[in-house]
Amino acid sequence: MLRLDWRTPASWVEAVLSDPLALLSDHAHCELKAASAVQSLIVTYPDRQALVHELGPMAVEEMQHFNQVVAVLAGRGHTLRAARPSPYAEGLGKAARQGRKELMLDRLLVAGLIEERSFERFELLAEHSADGELKDLYSGLLVSEARHRRLFSQVARDYYPRADIETREQELRAAEAQVIRALPFEVRMHSGPVPASAAGDPSSLAEVEEPA
């Protein structure tokens, strides 16, 4: 079951699938950033054995995802486009508390929420894409993202009481929903919703309001 406070509407997936190459390039950069975020956690908390043990293999896996996405782009005669800033990750980063102990929990929970959002969007992409290769790519990746989500929770449980995790997770889930809903729509993995007028569907507004 998805643990997100706001669910991506179907109008988003239809709109991003109009430019699969732009989406793939942005997605490849997301995998690269995921690998680097995991490595940064290891660099910051080298003495946390469970964290290092679980996240080392995850960094390798995110790079494998990166290579997989780049190979699909190459197979279509395209190269990676320039990296762009990620207002989604920046917005979530601002929600994290600053004390060393609080920051580690928040970074783990935020990383887990990003995995959860990626899982949700890969599932939509796998379901709606008419392109067999992309369908297979997204179907394969969503399994990994669900596992990564569980791993971040597991590492958090190794260091923090369950009640603290649940309270903070609830707050960060609300923050994540607020951040992503406020982002403009773009052909990117972590963009905001298509405006109701652009979606051309008066019911899409109600869909945006629907809780997860």
- The residue ranges that bind Fe ion (CB under 5 A) are 31, 62, 65, 115, 145, 148
The distance of closest approach from Cβ of residue 128 to Fe ion in the complex, given in angstroms and rounded to an integer, is 20
Tokens coding 70: 């780049």
> Which residues fall within 8 angstroms of residue 52, CB to CB, at 6 or more apart?
42, 45, 46
- Return the number of the residue (80 or 205) whose C-beta is nearest Fe ion: 80
The distance of closest approach from Cβ of residue 115 to Fe ion in the complex, given in angstroms and rounded to an integer, is 5
- Return the number of the residue (103 or 146) whose C-beta is nearest Fe ion: 146
- Return the number of the residue (65 or 168) whose C-beta is nearest Fe ion: 65
The SS3 call for residue 212 is coil
- Return the number of the residue (31 or 106) whose C-beta is nearest Fe ion: 31
The distance of closest approach from Cβ of residue 51 to Fe ion in the complex, given in angstroms and rounded to an integer, is 15
The distance of closest approach from Cβ of residue 107 to Fe ion in the complex, given in angstroms and rounded to an integer, is 14
> Which residues fall within 8 angstroms of residue 86, CB to CB, at 6 or more apart?
30, 33, 190
Q: Is 17 exposed, middle or buried (CB count within 10 Å of its CB: 0-12, 13-18, 19+)?
A: middle
